[in-house]
Structure formats: structure tokens, C-alpha cells
Structure 1
């Protein structure tokens, strides 16, 4: 089955123009054909198979076939591949043609070695357009960190497994992370108005972090800037946090950035009350009210022994 998020394209974007793209392709059925993870948590690395070496070589040959294109970062993982492409000069064909040629070439070589009409890649590919300051550095770091993230997931699989039927405050949520945080006897909601003055925000942050230091679990949908600031501070201070998200979790979802490490440490629970969607949406007032209502109800649930 084709994952919709692997085929999603930005409809109003000209993929022939000069830009930097992060691309991802996955092995058919996520089979670990490209290598194996070695070194454990101490020194994780991907030891490439013959197929993985061939895939890396095909990728590195792209600039020789496509003038005006350079490769900034890439990483072969056991069952998928990440690569950052810099389209330095406008192209006659879009990005999809470059990725498609790479997939076709590597598939042809794979079939020649396997001596059968075997599939190497899943249909489609995923791309992220890197337009904003800091995105390239963040994506480089993400790609370089992939082996460690895989090692962490394998060491703590229960914390990264999507559970679709967690019950809380009379509602069913999809969840990733430490669901035992729901059982904490003391939970504090983080709800900060967008119009709160700086001194009041600082006081609220100090109060909530102090409560978390003494065992409370913070609960928030992280909608307003103040709520996001306090959530970031809690994560940086290694304090427990329950986050309620508007969007659900697609298959093979991985928590982003600081959420990942907090999840691995058992300090984070991500809850999603509604199904996953692939389109960009702005939160409606009704959704904001609902998310805050969930946070209120979860914080008020009594789990005192």
C-alpha cells in the first residue's frame, strides 16, 4: 500500500526552480536491504550491504548526470534513504524526475544482481522544501543523527509504538510515549493567553516548572507562544510533559527534535484526539477550545492511590 505522506507534493510550487530539498525514499515493505545497524547506543552506525553501497554510489553519481545540481548530505539507513539536493540552476525537469532517475537506476542494478524482477523501492518519495533560515542545518543534523535515533528506538520500542486507543478524560486518543504519565497524582495544566504580559508569563513559567520539579506532570496543547515557551523550558529541564496535538500520527511516525529524546527518556506523552491528516490546516477556535478542554480534564483527573 502507498503511504499518502510519501506522495504528497506542494501543489503551488515549481519543482524545477533553484532550491534546496530534503528527500526520502523507502525500501519496498521497509525491508532492511541496505544495511544493518551496528555499535549499539554507544557508537551507532549503519554497516552497508552490497545493495546499500550500490545505492550510495547511484546517489553520488547524480551531479554527473544532472548539471546544476549538487548533493549536500545523505544517509543510507537499513530500510530507507535520506538525501539533501541543492538545485543550483533551474532545471528543464522537476525534482521528481531526478529522484525517479535515481530510483530507476538503482532498481535496475539491484534487479541485475538479484537475477529477478524484484522491487527495490516503495512508490513515490517524500520531500521537504528548505526555504527558511536554519532549516538546512536542522536537516543536516537530523540526517547525521539517524543511526542514533534508530538505536534509541530499538532500545525502547515501547515508548515509540503508536497506541490508538488510550482512554483519558472520557475520550479515546492515539498516543506515543510514556502513557503512565497519565497516572501521575499531580498534573498541572499550562494555559497561557496570547495577551499575557512578560512579567506574568515569567511568573507562570517559574511556578509551573517548580511544580514539575516537585513531581507534577505538565499538560498542554502548546498553542500560544507562552505555552510553547514553557513546554520548551520543561523539555530543556528534563521535566515530564503531556502534549495534546491537533494532528494524529501517520504510520512510522517519529517524534521530532527534542520530543524524541524526551520520549526515549520516558518524560513525554503525545496525545492526539483526532485522526492524522496530510494537508496544512490552521487551528480553528473550536479546536483550540477542545484541546484546552482536554488538557483541563486530564490535569484534573484524580489518580491518587
Structure 2
């Protein structure tokens, strides 16, 4: 199945409208397919437990980061792991409980009579019963707020769910790694909160950005713009890469939107070497945005600052030439500014 456009639906509680749940408009949710499902608690309350341990950056021999489940968290985990008892067509291949959300990799092994959403609605109802029995006062308070606001969504979990569909080779391995690594990533956010929190209205060189990462990189005395022509030769690119890396090793911060192939190659080489970078991107951040993959480690290590001059958009858009020119001019201004 080709991946086409996605419908926009109501965001999770606490998220801006731009950060939407996704449903693949041409996908049959009764057919054999593998999914990664994410559900968050109402108001992102940490009802399922807490993260414990230390990230690798915090100690030479850290305790492996993991989630210490509350009684409710343990019961919710049990409910999810028994989905296959009630729906033999569905297996739970992986489950990662987090304090205020969970991720599950589900495999619909054969054609179902009802769509996956109906199965998950039943799971939510079972979780609501556990919530009511184990935390009656909290349950009543949430139900009361819903009644006052004429809302008919959630109770324990926020309305709906986010789903990603397995479409390509290697995607499952990335999902499983993401789930396993989630507690460590959360610990890193706790240990370095300022480096992962979206900073609004960051002003430098007369420009204003939203930012994630080490904003103190802007204060470095030497900043070097990385800009390459799309027609740069292989030989010139090798020479420019060597010069940029050498400057960065000596303390320069490399600054670029990394648009052209040459710019991407230089910034990637510097990133892999752990050198300091300021990256400008066309798309902005939602309030709950966080850097993905190795970028999170780079932010935690103070290596990376990501700047976005414009608002977030949920659609996947092709960057315009005028925007490329603007981003390169911003990079130049950052390098010239104090």
C-alpha cells in the first residue's frame, strides 16, 4: 500500500492543534498489518509510574534506566498484554509503559471482523474500569471535569490514539529500539531539562526563533556558516569538509540549514564527530516537540542547537527556494552577529 495523505484529527490533551493524531485514509484497519500505537493519559498525568536509573551521561556505571510502575501502571500493562486472549487475531509484540503514556507494537495477524480502533476502544474501557477501582477519587475528579465541559473523551487515556503503520524494511527495528530507549531518553530530559524544552522568542542578531538545544552555542565567539553550491565538485567538497571540520575542532560552531547535498555531508560529518552545530530548519516546533534519535544525545551533550524561524506545520511540505535563501541569510547573520 502506498502511503498517502493523512487525516487531521483532534490533538492529544495539552498539544497544539498542529500536532495531530494520524489515520491513514486508505488503510483498511481490519486487514493483516503491523502498527505502533501511542496513547497518552488525560492531561499527561504521570499515573503509570516514574523513571528511575541514570543515563550514560550521568555516571560511569549507571543503573539502567527503566520505568518503576505504580499499581495502576502494572494493571494497565497487564490489560494490554492480554489483548490476544480476547482478540486472537492481534498480538502485542512489544509494550513500553511510560509515566504518562504508552507505546505498543501490535500485529494484526489475520483479517478481523472489526477495525483495530474498536479493539482499542475495548482496551480503553477495561483500563477505565481499573482506573475507577484503583484510584476512585482521581477517577471521579476527571469524570466531573468532563461533565462540566460537556466532553465525551477518555477518562484515563485522552481521546483517540496515534498510529504508525509498518511500511518499509527496517522500520520495525527502529520502533523496537525507540520503545526500549524511551526510559533513557526521558531520564536525559529530566537531567537536562533546558536543553530539551522548546524555547520561544529566542532573539539573536535581530532575528527571532523557536529553539531546542544548547542556546549558549550562539555565544561562542567563532561561528562558521556552511554553505555549498549544488554544483560543487567532489574534490572541492572534500576540501571544504576538511576545512570546516578543522575549524570546528578548534572551537568554531558550524551553522547551516543543511539544504544542499554538500551542506548535508559536511554537517553530518561534523555531527558524527561530536562537533558543535547550529542547525536551522524550515518547520517549527509544537510545544511538546523533542529531538529524535541521536539528536537527543547531541542536545544533552551540549553539541547541538536547532533553530526554527517559522511556525510549525503538520503537513509535509517541500521547502521553497525563497525559504532556502532566507535560511542561508539567517545563517550568515548568526555568524556575523554577537
Is 1:283 the counterpart of 2:304? The answer is no
Paired with 1:14 and 1:282, the residues of 2 have a C-alpha distance of 28
TM-superposed CA distance for 1:182, in Å, is: 0.9
Distance 1:31 1:228, change over 3 A: same
Residues of 2 paired with 1:255 and 1:270: CA distance?
9
Q: Equivalent residue of 2:23, what SS?
A: coil
Following superposition, the deviation at residue 122 of structure 1 comes to 1.4
Runs of at least 4 residues off by over 6 Å: none
Q: 1:93 Cα shift? A: 3.3
Deviates more, 1:160-169 or 1:88-97: 88-97
What is the SS of the residue equivalent to 1:185? Answer: coil
Q: Which residue of 1 is the match for residue 30 of structure 2?
A: 16
SS of aligned partner of 1:188: strand
- 1:55–1:169 Cα change, 3 Å: same
| 2:152 aligned with 1:131 | no
Q: Tell me, yes or no, if structure 1 residue 66 matches structure 2 residue 87.
A: yes
Matches within 5 A, 1:108-257: 108-115=129-136, 116-117=139-140, 118=142, 119-257=155-293
Q: How many angstroms apart in 1 are the aligned matches of 2:188 and 2:273? A: 20
Provide, for residues 105-137 of structure 1, a one-character-per-residue CA deviation record: whole Å limited to 9, x for no partner.
211221122234442111222222231222211
Partner of 1:36: 50
In 2, the alpha carbon distance for the partners of 1:36 and 1:134 equals: 30
Give the TM-score normalised by structure 1. Answer: 0.92
Q: What is the distance in 2 between the residues matched to 1:12 and 1:290?
A: 37
Q: Greater shift after overlay, 93-102 or 147-156?
A: 93-102
2:311 is the counterpart of 1:266: no
Work out the CA distance in 2 between the residues paired with 1:203 and 1:90. Answer: 57
What CA distance in whole angstroms lies between the structure 2 residues aligned with 1:208 and 1:88? 51
Give me the whole-angstrom Cα distance separating, in 1, the residues matched to 2:254 and 2:121.
46
Q: CA RMSD in A?
A: 1.8
CA distance, structure 2, for counterparts of residue 278 and residue 226 of structure 1: 28
The Cα of 1:238 is off from its aligned counterpart by 0.9
- How far is the alpha carbon of 1:2 from its aligned partner? 5.9
**Number of positions where the alignment pairs a residue of Structure 1 with one of Structure 2:** 302
Contact preservation (8 Å) 1:6, 1:125: no
Q: TM-score, normalised by structure 2?
A: 0.84
Structure-2 separation of matches of 1:142 and 1:94: 26
Q: Which whole-Å deviations, capped at 9, do the CAs of 1:188-218 have from their partners, x for residues lacking one?
A: 1122333333332222211111110011101
Q: Given the superposition, is the C-alpha separation of residues 187 and 123 from structure 1 closer, same or farther in structure 2, using an over 3 Å criterion? A: same
Structure 2: 5+ residue stretches without partners? 1-12, 56-61, 143-154
CA offsets, 1:210-266, max 9 Å, x none?
110011101111223332222222121110000111111112211011110010011
Counterpart-to-counterpart distance in 2, 1:292 and 1:86 = 45
**Structure 1 stretches lacking a partner, 5+ long:** none
Contact 2:20 2:314 (8 Å CA) reproduced: no
- Alpha-carbon distance in structure 2 between the residues aligned to 1:189 and 1:88: 51
